[in-house]
Amino acid sequence: MTAIPELHAGTPFDDLDDYLALGRIGSLALSADGRRLVVAQSTLGEKATKYVTALWEIDPTGEFAARRLTRGRSGESNPTFTSDGDLLFTSSRPTQDEDDLPDDLWRLPARGGEAVVVARRGGGITGVRAARCAPRFVVTTGVLGRSGESADDERVRTERKEKKVSAILHTGYPIRYWDHDLGPDVPHLLSAPLDALAENGQEPELTDLTPMPGPALREANYALSDDGAFVVTSWTVPGPLASIRNILVRVDTETGARTVLVDDADADLSDPVISPDGRHVVFTRESHATPDSAPRFTLHRYSFDSGTVTEVAPGWDRWATSVVWLSDGSGLLVTADDRGRAPIFLLRDGADPTRVTTDDCAYTDLQVAPDGSTVFALRASYAAPPHPVRIDITTGAVSLLKAPADLPELPGALTEVETVAADGAALRAWLAVPTGASAHAPVPLALWVHGGPLGSWNTWSWRWNPWLLVARGYAVLLPDPALSTGYGQEFVERGWGKWGKAPFTDLMAITDAAVALP
C-alpha cells in the first residue's frame, strides 16, 4: 500500500477538535425597515459536548463589525423581528441547577434593555412568525392530552414527569421523522397580539388556532400575512393505501376559522409564501412519485380574489427553494440547484427566469430590503461555509458583510471536473485537491457519492465535509450523477427506478475523468 503523503499543515481541518470548534452560521433575519440584520452562530459550549447558538447583529452596510446580542447558557434560536423592530427568539434560559427546560418565546427591545418572556408553554415554543406590519405573532408548540387544552396539557406533562414515564403510544403513521421520534405531543398553532404586552407588561394570552389537529401539523411549514390577519400552512391529511399527503389551509388569527385553499390529490403542497398585499400565496407542488416516474417540483400561485391556481414560471426545469416576494409584490426571488450551484433567480409574470447571481455559490435565507433594490442572504459553497452577504438585485453584485468570525483557511483547492456519459449526457463534479498535489506528487482519490438520492453536491456541509479527508492527503471527488437536482427533470428521470444503471455508470465515467488528471 502506498503511503499517503503529508502535504500541508496548519488549517482547522488538520485537527478534529479545531474543526469542531469552528463557528457555524444560520437563520438570517431582517427587520421590516431593513436597518437590522441578525444571524445565529453556533459554537461549542463550555464542556465541548454540544453546540450553543447565540444571536449576532450584522451591519447591513458592511461597515461595522458584528455585535453579539444574546448570551444564554442554553443558546437562542428562531430570530424574528416584530413590526416595531423588536427581536423575538426562543430560548430555555435555565438556571445553573436546571437543565432540559422547554424553550420560551423572548422579546429583546429594539431601544435597549433586557429580554423578557412573551410566551411559554409546557411543550416549548418550537417556531415563531411575526407579522411585518402589525403587532401579531404566531408560534408552534407541542400539546398533550385528549382535549388539547393548556390545563390538560400541563396535567399530563406533570403526571408523566412525576411517574417518570417516557413511553410513546403511537396509534397511526408516521412515528418517526429522519433522526427523531415523533410524539407523544402533537403540534398546535397559537397566536396572540404583541400590543397586549406593551400595554400592561404581562404575557399575552395565547389563542389556540388549531384545537385537536391530530397529526395535521407534523413537520408543517407555515407563513403569517404581513397584516397578521391569517396564516397559510401545510396540513397533513390521509392519502390512499395508508399514506399521507399535504394540502394548504388558511387559518384566521382572530377566530381560528380554517379554510382549505388548495387540495391536490396527486401532489404534496408545502412552503407557502404570502404576498405583501395578502392577495396571493406561492407554494411548492411536489407530484407523487411512482416506480416509473420521479417526483416533479413546481411553483404555483393561489389567488384569494379568484380562488384560482396558476403555475409560476411554467416550463422552467428547476426546483425552486428559498422563495421570497419582492417588496412591491411584482415578482419573486428564488434559489434553485443549477449545475452544482444554487444561484438566485428573479421570476416575473410573463418573463423567463433571470439569474441574479453568477458565481459558483449556493444561496439560502433570502431577505429582501424594503426598497426592493437589495437582497440579503447566506452564501456558501464547497470553498466556504455559510456567511452573510448583500446582493444588488439589478446588477447581481455581491458584497461580503462582517460576520462573527472569519472564513476558515482550507487545506487545498476546489476545481471542477467534466465529462460525457455513454448516452451523451453532460456530467460534472467538484474535486477538492490537497495543497501541493501535482503530477510529480500524485495523491489518492476518494469518491464520495451523495445521498438523497435527489440532491446535489453544491454547498458546504458540516456533516459531510470533504476537507477533513483533503487535510489527510486525499483528493475528494463530489459528483452529481443521474438523479441529481439542478440538471433538469430528464436528468432525474435517467436514474429513477434504475439505481444500478445511469447513476452507477455516471459515477464511473466521472471517476475515470478525475483519475486521468495529472
**Could you identify the residue written with the cell 435517467?**
494
Residue 431: the pLDDT is: 98
Nearest C-alpha neighbor of 125 from the set 117, 114, 116: 117
Does residue 393 have a pLDDT over 80? yes
What pairing do the DSSP bridges indicate for beta strands 412-420 and 426-434? antiparallel
Q: Which residue has better confidence, 338 or 168?
A: 338
Residue 178: the pLDDT is: 81
**Which residue type sits at 413?**
A
Local confidence band at 180 (pLDDT 50, 70, 90 cut-offs): confident
34: region left, alpha or beta (phi > 0 left; psi from -120 to 50 alpha): left
Mean pLDDT of 296-301: 97
Give the start-to-end residue ranges of the domains of the chain: 412-515
Does residue 2 have a pLDDT over 50? no
Residue 229: the pLDDT is: 98
Residue 248: the pLDDT is: 98
Nearest-angstrom CA–CA distance, 230 and 224: 6
Residue 495: the pLDDT is: 96
Residue 8: the pLDDT is: 44
Fold held by 412-515: Rossmann fold (3.40.50)
Share of the chain above pLDDT 70, in %: 96
3-state SS of 243-281? CEEEEEEEEECCCCCEEEEECCCCEEEEEEEECCCCCEE
Does residue 96 have a pLDDT over 70? no
Nearest-angstrom CA–CA distance, 293 and 313: 22
**Could you identify the residue written with the cell 399521507?**
244
> 3-state DSSP helix/strand/coil percent for the chain, to nearest 5?
10, 40, 50
Local confidence band at 97 (pLDDT 50, 70, 90 cut-offs): low
Does residue 6 have a pLDDT over 60? no
Does residue 172 have a pLDDT over 80? no
Residue 171: the pLDDT is: 80
Q: What is the pLDDT of residues 107-158, one digit of tens each?
A: 999 998 899 999 999 999 999 999 999 999 999 999 998 777 888 999 999 9
Q: Are 357 and 351 in contact (CB under 8 A)?
A: no
Does residue 308 have a pLDDT over 80? yes
Local confidence band at 5 (pLDDT 50, 70, 90 cut-offs): very low
Residue 1: the pLDDT is: 41
Local confidence band at 197 (pLDDT 50, 70, 90 cut-offs): low
Mean pLDDT of 47-54: 93
Nearest-angstrom CA–CA distance, 331 and 462: 33
Q: Which residue has better confidence, 31 or 214?
A: 31
Nearest-angstrom CA–CA distance, 337 and 297: 12
Within 8 A by CB and 6+ apart from 344, the residues are 333, 334, 335, 355, 356, 357, 363, 366, 375, 377, 391
Residue 199: the pLDDT is: 52
Q: What is the pLDDT of residues 455-494, one digit of tens each?
A: 999 999 999 999 999 999 999 999 999 999 999 999 999 9
Q: Are 23 and 43 in contact (CB under 8 A)?
A: yes
Residue 10: the pLDDT is: 85
Edge-to-edge strand order for the sheet containing 37-44?
A: 24-30, 37-44, 51-58, 67-68
* pLDDT mean across residues, the chain: 93
Does residue 342 have a pLDDT over 60? yes
Nearest-angstrom CA–CA distance, 337 and 363: 10
Burial class (CB in 10 A: 0-12, 13-18, 19+), 508: middle
Does residue 241 have a pLDDT over 90? no
449: its cell numbers:
457519492
Nearest C-alpha neighbor of 492 from the set 287, 312, 347: 287
Q: What is the pLDDT of residues 76-93, one digit of tens each?
A: 999 999 999 999 999 997
Coil vs helix vs strand at 283: strand
Coil vs helix vs strand at 467: helix
Q: Are 336 and 320 in contact (CB under 8 A)?
A: yes
Nearest C-alpha neighbor of 231 from the set 149, 301, 309, 136: 136
Mean pLDDT of 188-212: 82
Q: Are 429 and 510 in contact (CB under 8 A)?
A: yes
Residue 382: the pLDDT is: 96
Mean pLDDT of 381-394: 97
